[in-house]
Amino acid sequence: MQIVSGNALDTRVAVYHFTKSQSPHQFITFPMIHIGEPQFYQEIARKLTQCDIVLYEGIASKKGVLSIKSYESIARHLGLSIQREEIKREELKQVEMIHADLSKQEFEGYWRKIPLHQRVLFNSMTLFSYFYTLTQVTRADLLHNKSINLRDEIPYLMGKKTKIDDLIMKKRDQRLIHHIERQVKIHQGTPKVIGILYGARHIQGIMQYLLDQQGFTVKDAEWVIAFGHQS
């Protein structure tokens, strides 16, 4: 099962709809890439309106400002947009939007516990990637060899045992699963369609959780084009 796919013409994401016969609830996963065409985010926003509840990501911390600023510059360089500018909350007034990520205080608390050399290395890698992308990368290169399949091994940013990976991937996935289970419990007797609006690598782990641990099956799926490889 593919989650993100690139071909000669475009890069696209797969939106999956999950159901389970013993559960009144349904889940829809929306794998996000943070740079795309405005139409991509508009289409995702349109699809979010079929949900009763949406669990979404986002870290409101200056510790991640370098990554955010680099996304903004790369998007402008490639004639694209970024997620937080295009998915507007006012268009989803009828949907209950729940922040299902770490809080600013939690993220910064974990960040301070990461060894200084890992933090410096991570920021250096982010800065290098930013300048390399601005000078060398085209739209067609942006997700080169970055297609994501359900059963792919989840790659590490800096290594399996680093606290950077533990924070950016594991702790955030754990928090999202906590919110999924909480919503299921709160709405035990009321059928709900629950959307999960998160980065594609996180969606990979959440899909494995729904399929392997919770016994959900895929009801249907559809591709949404994130951006064409020609401007």
The tokens of 36 are what? 């795309």
Using CA atoms, how far apart are residues 172 and 176, in angstroms rounded to an integer? 6
pLDDT at 121: 86
Q: What is the mean pLDDT of the chain?
A: 86
The reported pLDDT for the residue numbered 158 is: 61
Mind listing the pLDDT tens digit for each residue in 42-54? 999 999 999 999 9
**What is the pTM (predicted TM-score) of this model?**
0.89
Give the other-Cβ count within 10 Å of 31's Cβ.
Answer: 26
> How many other C-beta atoms can be found within 10 angstroms of the C-beta atom of residue 200?
20
The pLDDT value recorded for residue 173 is 95
* DSSP character at residue 177: H
Instruction: Tell me what pLDDT residue 88 has.
Output: 65
Would you say 218 and 15 are in contact if contact means Cβ atoms under 8 Å apart? no
Q: What is the pLDDT of residue 106?
A: 93
pLDDT beneath 70, residues of the chain:
62-72, 83-86, 88-90, 142-146, 155-161, 230-231
Give the CA dihedral 48, 54, 57, 61, nearest 10 degrees: 110
Contact 3, 12 (CB under 8 A): no
Q: What is the pLDDT of residues 52-83, one digit of tens each?
A: 999 999 887 766 555 555 666 777 778 888 76
Give the N- to C-terminal CA distance of the chain in Å, as an integer: 29
What distance in Å separates the CA atoms of residue 154 and residue 208, rounded to the nearest whole number? 11
Query: For residues 35 and 80, is the Cβ–Cβ distance under 8 A?
Result: yes
| Cα 38 to Cα 78: distance, rounded to the nearest angstrom | 13
